[in-house]
Structure 1
Amino acid sequence: MTNRTMAIVAYITIIGWVVAYLSYRKSDDKSPLVRYHLTQSIGIILFSIVLSIVSGILVGILPSLATLFYIISLCPFVLMLMGIITASNEAQRPIPLIGKLVEGKFNL
């Protein structure tokens, strides 16, 4: 698998992240592009989990805001698409909202 492909696959759910991570670890060439996008992708996955928990609790308390939280829950999907576009261009730009927070946080 090429470095560009590994960077793109990293954004496709947690299973894609695991496949890209295992391919990255197995490869002889440890590309900084793949490492960067693996980090950004795991940040999106963790953000999605936290957002899901928080919105579930808040919708349980305030059911009238369910539509608003449904729209907000699309945010990780949009971030994933932005990450895929960035990875396909072979660029290393942080994802909006959370990209700067996760840069350098994970030792991959």
Structure 2
Amino acid sequence: MDNKTLAIISYIPLIGWLIAFFIGRDNADNFLKFHLKQSLALVIFGILFNVAFFIIVMIVPSLTFLGYIGYVVWALVVIGIINAAIKRKIQVQK
């Protein structure tokens, strides 16, 4: 598989990331490393958000509407897949 395909696969939570990591670790370029790091950060953020949200809702049930914020994570995953598909790496200003 080429690095573009592995970058797209890396956005599939856990299984896709592991596949992309182990298959691409020998010939990973900066593009693949960037998308691996970004997709891992999104998964970790999603898990932490869900745990924190669950605790908050157990304490204050009227805040269940905040669950819609979780859709932002999925939107970021879709944006990451699109950027990997068109082979674009977002440049961060220093």
TM-score normalised by length of structure 2: 0.91
1:57-96 superposed Cα distances (whole Å, 9 cap, x missing partner): 1101111111x222111121111001001101111116xx
> Would you say how many aligned residue pairs link Structure 1 and Structure 2?
92
Percent identity over paired residues: 33
Aligned to 1:50: 48
Q: CA RMSD in A?
A: 1.3
Q: What residue number does 1:60 align with?
A: 58
Aligned mates of 1:30, 1:64 — CA distance in 2:
46
Number of the residue aligned with 1:13:
13
Q: Which runs of 4+ in 1 moved over 2 A?
A: none
Which deviates the most, 68-77 or 45-54? Answer: 68-77
AA in 1 matched with 2:90: R
Measured in 1, the distance between the counterparts of 2:28 and 2:34 equals: 11
Counterpart of 2:90 in structure 1 is 93
Name the structure 2 match of 1:70.
67
Query: Which letter maps to 1:32?
Result: N
> Paired residue for 1:23?
23
Give distance in 2, aligned partners of 1:17 and 1:8: 9
- Per the TM alignment, residue 13 of structure 1 is displaced from its structure 2 partner at its CA by 1.1
| Matched residue, 2:4 | 4
Alignment gaps of 5+ in structure 1:
95-99, 101-108
CA deviation string 1:36-59 (max 9, x = no partner): 000000000010011001100110
State the SS of the aligned residue for 1:90: coil
**Deviation, structure 1 residue 30:** 2.3
The offset of 1:21, in angstroms, is: 0.2
Q: 3-state SS of the aligned residue for 2:14?
A: helix
